[in-house]
Amino acid sequence: MTLSILYPTPTAHFRCSTSSRSSTIPSPPLLKNLKLPRFWPWQKVKVGSLSVSPMGFGTWAWGNQFLWGYEESMDDELQQVFNLAVENGINLFDTADSYGTGRLNGQSEKLLGNFIRQFPGNKQVRDNIVIATKFAAYPWRLTPNQFVDACRSSLDRIQIDQIGIGQLHWSTANYAPLQERALWDGLVAMYDKGLVRAVGVSNYGPKQLLKIYDYLEARGVPLVSAQVQFSLLSMGEDQLEMKSTCDALGIRVIAYSPLGLGMLTGKYNTSNLPTGPRGFLFRQILPGLEPLLESLKQIAQKRRKTVSQVAINWCITKGTIPIPGVKSIEQAEENLGALGWKLSSAEMQQLESAALRSPRKMVQNIFQTS
Protein backbone atom coordinates (compact mmCIF):
# COMPACT_ATOMS: atom_id res chain seq x y z
CA MET A 1 0.00 0.00 0.00
CA THR A 2 1.26 3.50 -0.83
CA LEU A 3 0.42 7.05 0.17
CA SER A 4 -1.42 10.02 -1.22
CA ILE A 5 -1.81 13.45 0.32
CA LEU A 6 -4.83 13.51 2.60
CA TYR A 7 -6.77 16.65 3.49
CA PRO A 8 -9.37 16.72 6.24
CA THR A 9 -13.01 17.32 5.38
CA PRO A 10 -14.02 20.94 6.08
CA THR A 11 -16.10 21.50 9.20
CA ALA A 12 -17.81 24.44 10.81
CA HIS A 13 -15.08 25.18 13.35
CA PHE A 14 -11.48 24.60 14.19
CA ARG A 15 -9.64 23.82 17.42
CA CYS A 16 -6.33 25.07 18.67
CA SER A 17 -6.00 21.80 20.61
CA THR A 18 -7.74 18.48 20.30
CA SER A 19 -8.45 17.45 23.87
CA SER A 20 -11.73 18.24 25.60
CA ARG A 21 -9.61 19.70 28.42
CA SER A 22 -7.77 22.05 26.05
CA SER A 23 -8.63 25.68 25.45
CA THR A 24 -10.44 26.63 22.27
CA ILE A 25 -10.87 29.99 20.61
CA PRO A 26 -13.85 31.19 18.59
CA SER A 27 -13.49 31.06 14.83
CA PRO A 28 -13.56 34.36 12.92
CA PRO A 29 -16.50 34.51 10.48
CA LEU A 30 -14.30 33.93 7.42
CA LEU A 31 -12.91 30.72 8.97
CA LYS A 32 -16.25 29.20 9.99
CA ASN A 33 -16.08 26.65 7.19
CA LEU A 34 -12.34 26.02 7.36
CA LYS A 35 -10.52 23.28 9.22
CA LEU A 36 -6.76 23.59 9.13
CA PRO A 37 -4.75 20.47 8.26
CA ARG A 38 -3.21 18.66 11.21
CA PHE A 39 0.08 18.75 9.30
CA TRP A 40 1.18 19.93 5.88
CA PRO A 41 2.17 17.74 2.89
CA TRP A 42 5.86 18.59 3.24
CA GLN A 43 5.80 17.25 6.80
CA LYS A 44 5.41 13.66 5.60
CA VAL A 45 8.36 11.46 6.53
CA LYS A 46 10.16 8.80 4.54
CA VAL A 47 10.37 5.17 5.59
CA GLY A 48 12.43 3.68 2.79
CA SER A 49 10.45 4.40 -0.37
CA LEU A 50 7.22 4.95 1.60
CA SER A 51 5.96 8.38 2.64
CA VAL A 52 3.93 8.28 5.84
CA SER A 53 2.38 10.59 8.38
CA PRO A 54 4.74 11.89 11.10
CA MET A 55 2.72 9.89 13.63
CA GLY A 56 1.01 6.53 13.25
CA PHE A 57 -1.52 4.76 15.44
CA GLY A 58 -0.74 1.56 17.31
CA THR A 59 -3.38 -1.16 17.63
CA TRP A 60 -2.03 -3.36 20.43
CA ALA A 61 -5.24 -2.74 22.41
CA TRP A 62 -7.50 -3.89 19.57
CA GLY A 63 -8.22 -7.44 20.70
CA ASN A 64 -6.20 -7.50 23.94
CA GLN A 65 -8.53 -8.29 26.84
CA PHE A 66 -5.86 -9.03 29.43
CA LEU A 67 -3.97 -5.72 29.44
CA TRP A 68 -6.35 -3.29 27.73
CA GLY A 69 -9.81 -4.66 28.51
CA TYR A 70 -10.91 -5.06 24.90
CA GLU A 71 -14.48 -6.16 24.23
CA GLU A 72 -16.03 -6.78 20.82
CA SER A 73 -18.68 -4.18 21.66
CA MET A 74 -15.91 -1.60 21.20
CA ASP A 75 -15.60 -2.30 17.47
CA ASP A 76 -18.04 0.41 16.33
CA GLU A 77 -16.09 3.11 18.16
CA LEU A 78 -12.79 1.68 16.93
CA GLN A 79 -14.11 2.05 13.37
CA GLN A 80 -14.84 5.71 14.15
CA VAL A 81 -11.34 6.09 15.59
CA PHE A 82 -9.86 4.66 12.41
CA ASN A 83 -12.01 6.91 10.19
CA LEU A 84 -11.09 10.00 12.21
CA ALA A 85 -7.39 9.19 11.96
CA VAL A 86 -7.44 8.66 8.19
CA GLU A 87 -9.57 11.76 7.60
CA ASN A 88 -6.92 13.76 9.44
CA GLY A 89 -3.99 12.48 7.41
CA ILE A 90 -2.84 9.46 9.43
CA ASN A 91 -1.92 6.69 7.01
CA LEU A 92 0.35 4.48 9.14
CA PHE A 93 -1.17 1.79 11.36
CA ASP A 94 0.98 -0.64 13.32
CA THR A 95 -0.22 -4.11 14.30
CA ALA A 96 1.09 -7.66 14.81
CA ASP A 97 -0.01 -11.21 14.14
CA SER A 98 0.18 -11.87 17.91
CA TYR A 99 -2.12 -8.98 18.90
CA GLY A 100 -5.29 -10.34 20.44
CA THR A 101 -5.65 -12.64 23.43
CA GLY A 102 -6.99 -16.20 23.52
CA ARG A 103 -9.62 -16.89 20.89
CA LEU A 104 -9.11 -13.33 19.65
CA ASN A 105 -5.55 -13.97 18.47
CA GLY A 106 -5.02 -11.96 15.28
CA GLN A 107 -8.03 -9.76 16.06
CA SER A 108 -6.10 -6.51 15.58
CA GLU A 109 -5.21 -7.42 11.99
CA LYS A 110 -8.78 -8.55 11.27
CA LEU A 111 -10.22 -5.31 12.61
CA LEU A 112 -7.81 -3.19 10.57
CA GLY A 113 -8.83 -5.05 7.44
CA ASN A 114 -12.52 -4.55 8.22
CA PHE A 115 -12.03 -0.88 8.98
CA ILE A 116 -10.18 -0.28 5.71
CA ARG A 117 -12.98 -1.90 3.72
CA GLN A 118 -15.68 0.04 5.60
CA PHE A 119 -13.91 3.39 5.45
CA PRO A 120 -16.46 5.80 3.90
CA GLY A 121 -13.86 7.93 2.09
CA ASN A 122 -12.77 7.57 -1.51
CA LYS A 123 -10.97 4.48 -2.77
CA GLN A 124 -7.67 6.24 -3.43
CA VAL A 125 -7.36 7.30 0.20
CA ARG A 126 -8.29 3.78 1.33
CA ASP A 127 -5.78 2.14 -0.96
CA ASN A 128 -2.94 4.36 0.23
CA ILE A 129 -3.08 3.33 3.88
CA VAL A 130 0.19 1.75 5.05
CA ILE A 131 -0.13 -1.28 7.31
CA ALA A 132 2.98 -2.20 9.29
CA THR A 133 2.57 -5.60 10.89
CA LYS A 134 4.96 -7.67 12.99
CA PHE A 135 5.50 -11.41 12.69
CA ALA A 136 6.19 -13.19 15.98
CA ALA A 137 9.35 -15.27 16.33
CA TYR A 138 7.39 -18.20 17.74
CA PRO A 139 9.55 -21.27 18.52
CA TRP A 140 7.70 -23.33 15.91
CA ARG A 141 8.63 -20.91 13.12
CA LEU A 142 11.94 -22.55 12.29
CA THR A 143 12.27 -22.16 8.53
CA PRO A 144 12.05 -19.29 6.04
CA ASN A 145 8.94 -20.85 4.48
CA GLN A 146 7.17 -20.95 7.83
CA PHE A 147 7.84 -17.25 8.25
CA VAL A 148 6.53 -16.58 4.75
CA ASP A 149 3.41 -18.58 5.64
CA ALA A 150 2.97 -16.29 8.67
CA CYS A 151 3.03 -13.33 6.30
CA ARG A 152 0.43 -14.92 4.04
CA SER A 153 -1.80 -15.56 7.07
CA SER A 154 -1.59 -11.88 8.01
CA LEU A 155 -2.49 -10.91 4.45
CA ASP A 156 -5.53 -13.20 4.69
CA ARG A 157 -6.64 -11.69 7.99
CA ILE A 158 -6.25 -8.11 6.74
CA GLN A 159 -7.51 -9.10 3.26
CA ILE A 160 -4.99 -7.02 1.33
CA ASP A 161 -2.56 -8.01 -1.41
CA GLN A 162 0.60 -6.47 0.03
CA ILE A 163 1.71 -5.37 3.49
CA GLY A 164 3.40 -1.97 3.75
CA ILE A 165 6.14 -2.88 6.23
CA GLY A 166 6.72 -6.49 7.30
CA GLN A 167 8.56 -6.53 10.62
CA LEU A 168 10.31 -9.23 12.65
CA HIS A 169 8.65 -8.77 16.07
CA TRP A 170 11.70 -9.68 18.12
CA SER A 171 15.15 -11.19 17.82
CA THR A 172 15.95 -14.74 18.95
CA ALA A 173 19.69 -14.04 19.04
CA ASN A 174 19.84 -14.31 22.83
CA TYR A 175 18.32 -17.79 23.02
CA ALA A 176 18.02 -19.36 19.53
CA PRO A 177 20.58 -17.86 17.12
CA LEU A 178 20.02 -20.50 14.43
CA GLN A 179 16.33 -19.65 14.29
CA GLU A 180 17.26 -15.99 13.89
CA ARG A 181 19.03 -16.64 10.60
CA ALA A 182 16.05 -18.58 9.24
CA LEU A 183 13.73 -15.69 10.12
CA TRP A 184 16.02 -13.23 8.34
CA ASP A 185 15.82 -15.44 5.25
CA GLY A 186 12.05 -15.41 5.67
CA LEU A 187 12.06 -11.60 5.53
CA VAL A 188 14.12 -11.76 2.34
CA ALA A 189 11.64 -14.20 0.81
CA MET A 190 8.62 -12.05 1.75
CA TYR A 191 10.24 -9.06 0.07
CA ASP A 192 11.35 -10.98 -3.03
CA LYS A 193 7.88 -12.47 -3.48
CA GLY A 194 6.28 -9.03 -3.26
CA LEU A 195 4.27 -9.87 -0.13
CA VAL A 196 5.67 -6.79 1.64
CA ARG A 197 6.77 -3.46 0.23
CA ALA A 198 9.44 -2.95 2.87
CA VAL A 199 11.12 -4.76 5.75
CA GLY A 200 11.65 -3.67 9.36
CA VAL A 201 12.54 -5.06 12.78
CA SER A 202 11.30 -4.57 16.32
CA ASN A 203 13.01 -4.81 19.74
CA TYR A 204 16.51 -4.85 18.24
CA GLY A 205 19.48 -3.17 19.89
CA PRO A 206 22.22 -1.39 17.90
CA LYS A 207 24.65 -4.33 17.71
CA GLN A 208 22.11 -6.83 16.43
CA LEU A 209 20.64 -4.19 14.15
CA LEU A 210 23.99 -3.80 12.38
CA LYS A 211 24.14 -7.54 11.80
CA ILE A 212 20.71 -7.84 10.19
CA TYR A 213 21.26 -4.63 8.23
CA ASP A 214 24.41 -6.06 6.64
CA TYR A 215 22.76 -9.44 6.06
CA LEU A 216 19.75 -7.95 4.29
CA GLU A 217 21.80 -5.45 2.30
CA ALA A 218 23.92 -8.28 0.90
CA ARG A 219 20.69 -9.80 -0.46
CA GLY A 220 19.37 -6.58 -1.93
CA VAL A 221 16.73 -6.01 0.75
CA PRO A 222 16.73 -2.55 2.38
CA LEU A 223 16.01 -2.41 6.11
CA VAL A 224 13.79 0.65 6.43
CA SER A 225 12.56 0.74 10.04
CA ALA A 226 13.41 -0.29 13.59
CA GLN A 227 10.65 -0.26 16.16
CA VAL A 228 11.76 0.27 19.75
CA GLN A 229 10.32 1.50 23.03
CA PHE A 230 11.18 5.20 22.91
CA SER A 231 9.83 7.98 25.12
CA LEU A 232 10.84 10.38 27.86
CA LEU A 233 10.61 7.33 30.13
CA SER A 234 12.86 5.28 27.83
CA MET A 235 15.67 7.70 27.17
CA GLY A 236 18.64 5.65 28.31
CA GLU A 237 21.99 5.22 26.59
CA ASP A 238 20.75 2.14 24.68
CA GLN A 239 17.81 4.03 23.15
CA LEU A 240 19.95 7.01 22.19
CA GLU A 241 22.63 4.75 20.70
CA MET A 242 19.92 2.93 18.76
CA LYS A 243 18.60 6.24 17.41
CA SER A 244 22.11 7.34 16.42
CA THR A 245 22.80 4.02 14.67
CA CYS A 246 19.52 4.19 12.75
CA ASP A 247 20.21 7.77 11.67
CA ALA A 248 23.62 6.73 10.33
CA LEU A 249 22.12 3.83 8.35
CA GLY A 250 19.07 5.69 7.04
CA ILE A 251 16.69 3.55 9.11
CA ARG A 252 13.58 5.21 10.55
CA VAL A 253 12.91 4.69 14.26
CA ILE A 254 9.27 3.85 15.04
CA ALA A 255 8.65 4.74 18.69
CA TYR A 256 6.25 2.44 20.50
CA SER A 257 4.86 3.26 23.96
CA PRO A 258 5.57 7.00 23.50
CA LEU A 259 3.33 7.67 26.51
CA GLY A 260 4.89 5.00 28.72
CA LEU A 261 1.70 2.87 28.76
CA GLY A 262 -0.13 5.97 30.00
CA MET A 263 2.29 7.22 32.67
CA LEU A 264 3.10 10.30 30.57
CA THR A 265 -0.53 11.36 30.10
CA GLY A 266 -0.75 13.21 33.40
CA LYS A 267 -3.96 11.33 34.18
CA TYR A 268 -2.55 9.04 36.88
CA ASN A 269 -0.92 9.44 40.28
CA THR A 270 -0.17 7.19 43.25
CA SER A 271 -3.77 7.46 44.45
CA ASN A 272 -5.26 6.99 41.00
CA LEU A 273 -3.78 3.97 39.25
CA PRO A 274 -5.05 1.94 36.29
CA THR A 275 -6.48 -1.50 36.94
CA GLY A 276 -4.79 -4.76 35.99
CA PRO A 277 -1.06 -5.38 35.42
CA ARG A 278 -0.38 -1.75 34.56
CA GLY A 279 -1.32 -0.71 38.09
CA PHE A 280 1.56 -2.69 39.58
CA LEU A 281 4.06 -1.15 37.17
CA PHE A 282 2.75 2.37 37.70
CA ARG A 283 3.04 1.95 41.47
CA GLN A 284 6.77 1.28 41.06
CA ILE A 285 7.59 4.13 38.68
CA LEU A 286 5.14 7.01 39.21
CA PRO A 287 6.48 8.16 42.61
CA GLY A 288 9.76 9.25 40.99
CA LEU A 289 8.26 11.09 38.02
CA GLU A 290 7.39 14.41 39.67
CA PRO A 291 10.17 16.43 37.92
CA LEU A 292 9.23 15.09 34.49
CA LEU A 293 5.46 15.34 34.90
CA GLU A 294 5.78 18.89 36.26
CA SER A 295 7.88 19.95 33.25
CA LEU A 296 5.36 18.36 30.89
CA LYS A 297 2.54 20.26 32.60
CA GLN A 298 4.40 23.58 32.45
CA ILE A 299 5.08 23.27 28.73
CA ALA A 300 1.56 21.98 28.04
CA GLN A 301 0.05 25.00 29.79
CA LYS A 302 2.30 27.42 27.91
CA ARG A 303 1.60 25.73 24.57
CA ARG A 304 -2.13 25.33 25.24
CA LYS A 305 -1.69 21.61 24.70
CA THR A 306 -2.17 18.54 26.87
CA VAL A 307 0.54 16.61 28.67
CA SER A 308 0.05 13.69 26.27
CA GLN A 309 0.45 15.93 23.24
CA VAL A 310 3.72 17.35 24.56
CA ALA A 311 5.09 13.86 25.33
CA ILE A 312 4.22 12.60 21.84
CA ASN A 313 5.59 15.73 20.20
CA TRP A 314 8.90 15.14 21.98
CA CYS A 315 9.17 11.87 20.02
CA ILE A 316 8.30 13.62 16.75
CA THR A 317 10.77 16.45 17.36
CA LYS A 318 13.40 13.83 18.21
CA GLY A 319 13.01 12.47 14.67
CA THR A 320 11.04 9.29 15.37
CA ILE A 321 7.58 8.20 14.27
CA PRO A 322 5.55 7.64 17.46
CA ILE A 323 2.68 5.12 17.35
CA PRO A 324 0.52 5.84 20.41
CA GLY A 325 -2.28 3.41 21.03
CA VAL A 326 -5.90 4.49 20.67
CA LYS A 327 -9.13 2.98 21.96
CA SER A 328 -11.56 5.93 21.89
CA ILE A 329 -12.50 9.01 19.92
CA GLU A 330 -11.26 11.17 22.80
CA GLN A 331 -7.83 9.52 22.75
CA ALA A 332 -7.62 9.84 18.97
CA GLU A 333 -8.49 13.54 19.07
CA GLU A 334 -5.95 14.14 21.80
CA ASN A 335 -3.18 12.28 19.98
CA LEU A 336 -3.87 14.18 16.77
CA GLY A 337 -3.18 17.38 18.69
CA ALA A 338 0.48 16.38 18.84
CA LEU A 339 0.79 17.13 15.11
CA GLY A 340 1.50 20.35 13.25
CA TRP A 341 3.97 21.94 15.67
CA LYS A 342 7.31 21.20 17.30
CA LEU A 343 8.88 21.78 20.67
CA SER A 344 11.72 24.31 20.82
CA SER A 345 15.27 23.28 21.61
CA ALA A 346 14.93 24.89 25.05
CA GLU A 347 11.75 22.90 25.75
CA MET A 348 13.40 19.70 24.59
CA GLN A 349 16.34 20.35 26.91
CA GLN A 350 14.00 21.08 29.82
CA LEU A 351 12.11 17.82 29.32
CA GLU A 352 15.21 15.70 28.89
CA SER A 353 16.86 17.21 31.95
CA ALA A 354 13.73 16.47 33.99
CA ALA A 355 13.64 12.91 32.62
CA LEU A 356 17.23 12.33 33.70
CA ARG A 357 16.37 13.51 37.22
CA SER A 358 13.59 10.91 37.49
CA PRO A 359 15.05 7.93 39.39
CA ARG A 360 12.96 5.22 37.73
CA LYS A 361 12.63 4.36 34.04
CA MET A 362 10.26 2.23 32.02
CA VAL A 363 10.93 -1.51 32.14
CA GLN A 364 12.37 -2.61 28.81
CA ASN A 365 10.96 -5.39 26.66
CA ILE A 366 12.36 -8.76 27.72
CA PHE A 367 13.18 -9.54 24.08
CA GLN A 368 15.21 -6.36 23.57
CA THR A 369 18.72 -7.24 22.35
CA SER A 370 21.96 -5.36 22.67
Catalytic residues: 99
Kindly report the number of other CB atoms within 10 A of residue 96's CB atom: 22
- Alpha helices (runs of H) in the chain, residue ranges in sequence order: 65-68, 75-87, 107-118, 123-127, 144-158, 177-192, 206-218, 237-249, 277-285, 290-303, 307-317, 329-336, 345-357
Residue type for position 254: I
Radius of gyration of the chain (CA): 20
Spatial separation of the C-alpha atoms in residues 285 and 280, rounded to whole Å: 9
Q: For the purposes of burial, counting CB atoms within 10 Å of the CB of 119, is it exposed (0-12), middle (13-18) or buried (19 or more)? A: middle
Q: Checking DSSP bridges between strand 50-52 and strand 45-47, what pairing results, if any?
A: antiparallel
